Amino acid sequence: MATLASHAAEPARYTHWSQAIPKDAVDHIPGEHGLPVVGHTFSLLGGPHEFTRKMQAKYGNIYRVWSFGRWHVSLLGAEANELVLFDREKIFSSEQGWGPVLDQLFPRGLMLIDFDHHRVDRRALSIAFKPGPMRHYAGSLNAGISRRVTEWGAGEMEFYPAIKQLTLDLAAESFIGLPFGPEADRINEAFVYMVQASVAPIRKPLPGTLMRKGVKGREFLVDFFTKETHRRRAEGGGQDMFSQFATAEREDGTLLPVDQVVDHMNFLMMAAHDTITSSATSLVWLLARHPEWQEKLREELRAVTGGEGRDLDYDDLGKVDLTEMAFKEALRLIPPVPSMPRRALKEFEFEGYTVPAGTTVGINPQFVHTMEEHWDDPRSFDPMRFTPDKVKARHKYAWVPFGGGAHMCLGLHFAYMQIKVLMAQLLTRYRIEVADGYQPEWQAWPIPKPKDGLKISLRSL
């Protein structure tokens, strides 16, 4: 009897995201189910930001809603970000938070492993972001961006598809070491299918579905990266990110297993691609809307590079403060990862509520980035919010476009570098303009993008 009683009292353990919590487990937390069966899934998909604002006004900084077949508890505010991202008590699983979206196509990537395993692999992969390799990527980014920006030429264009293609081509070169051409195109095509499938509504790879194309794309890339890992280990010497991963060692001096190199590489390409595309697009949009800031950046970049279309060298990346601040402001207003999911592996408290183990929770950078308690006039574009004094005076977790804590974006310096090089190549050649009154509609989910592709004009200076 005693054994049974103590066994019954043991808290449930959650080891996979598909294990459901009891239906009434979060009833004590304010919130609502929404429609029968689907709950608030469609409200979230249709307008996540408006929905969050409405729920926060009604329930406060912690509330539950039923969506995507389970209860989700939202935790809002800088304190919530710190609790979840810094995760002092090792409560929150990124693997089980992201699992439902990414597990099928990007399994075992860094965001899909936790704690000790994650720490060891992340450390090994960090080698690809040390100054030596970064200097090499800076060279290929300057060359690739300069070539493409010249090809774009003056005139009207849709910026989003153009930067998406450029980012794909650059990734083939800097990440995999492949020159532009048919092989890079095949890799890119397989990769695009995988990304599309990861957010496709039909989750089974039935004939004709996006998921089927994604699964096929994954098979192709797994095969390619597996063969290439062996080749690069045998030949050595590659400067690209993938070659760094292929030869990365853990603390005990062992190489990462080949299948794990492959999984990390697939995941990294996904993590880098749409995020850079989205943030480059929002920066270009905001600079088109704020020509006075465009001019300030242009002057800064000309002074540092020496004039039109010159390279922004790796050693000069730290000298373009205004450009960096403008980028940070774009990431504040339109964060490419607007919310981040986790699963609580242990019970925890937030704002007086006990949240049980097994609950899926989410934090929301998009919401915190426009909270009036952290930001004056939060809707306006003002890069001066990011002077060192202002940053120091603010809650550290009020601005989290790259996350924070153990899973903080591994590629953030790469992202800064690509954006700075892009600005140096673009703004020293052209003025970016949009038609008077133009206001593109942004699709909020899964990653923000302008629905019409962002119609801009480049005018030669």
- Count of residues in contact with ligand HEM, rule CB under 6 A: 22
Contact mark string toward ligand HEM, 121..140, x via CB under 6 A: -x------------------
163 binds ligand HEM (CB under 6 A): no
The CA-atom distances, in angstroms, between 317 and each of 36, 273, 410, 454 are: 53, 21, 18, 27
The interface with ligand HEM within residues 297-336 (CB under 6 A) comprises 336
Would you state the structure tokens that stand for residue 7, as one six-digit string? Answer: 């066994």
Part in contact with ligand HEM (CB under 6 A); list of ranges 38-46, 285-293, 407-415, 437-445: 407-415
Burial of 181 from C-beta contacts in 10 A (0-12 / 13-18 / 19+): exposed
Pairing of strands 92-93, 430-433: unpaired
Nearest to 56 by CA among 375, 372, 443: 372
User: Residue from 402, 434, 449, 450 that binds ligand HEM (CB under 6 A)?
Assistant: 402
* Nearer of residues 212 and 328 to ligand HEM, judged by Cβ: 328
**Which tokens sit at 243?**
């070659």
Q: Which is nearer to ligand HEM, 210 or 337 (CB)?
A: 337
Task: Return the residue of 39, 77, 238, 401 that touches ligand HEM, per CB under 6 A.
Answer: 401
* Stretch 92-121 residues interacting with ligand HEM (CB under 6 A): 94, 110-111
CB of 6 vs ligand HEM, minimal distance in Å: 36
Q: Compute the least distance from the CB of residue 203 to ligand HEM, in Å.
A: 20
- Binding ligand HEM (rule: CB under 6 A), the pick from 21, 297, 301, 340 is 340
Token pair belonging to 274:
């749409």
- DSSP notation for 409-447: -TTHHHHHHHHHHHHHHHHTTEEEE--TT--PPEE-SSS
Cβ proximity to ligand HEM, 40 vs 108, nearer residue: 108
271 near ligand HEM, rule: CB under 6 A: yes
Using the rule CB under 6 A, give the single segment among 176-184, 247-255, 314-322, 405-413 that binds ligand HEM.
405-413
Cβ atoms of 66 and 55 within 8 Å: the answer is no
Q: Which is nearer to ligand HEM, 374 or 407 (CB)?
A: 407
Residue number, 210 or 322, with CB nearest to ligand HEM: 322
> Which of residues 91, 166, 190, 415 is near ligand HEM by CB under 6 A?
415
- Which residues are registered as beta bridge partners of 360? 72, 343
C-alpha distances in Å from residue 184, one per residue of 154, 277, 298, 320, 337: 27, 18, 33, 32, 27
Torsion of CA 260, 83, 449, 387, to 10 degrees: -110
CA dist., res. 211 & res. 204, Å (int): 6
Which residues bind to ligand HEM, rule: CB under 6 A? 94, 110-111, 122, 268, 271-272, 275-276, 279, 336-337, 340, 401-403, 407, 409-411, 414-415
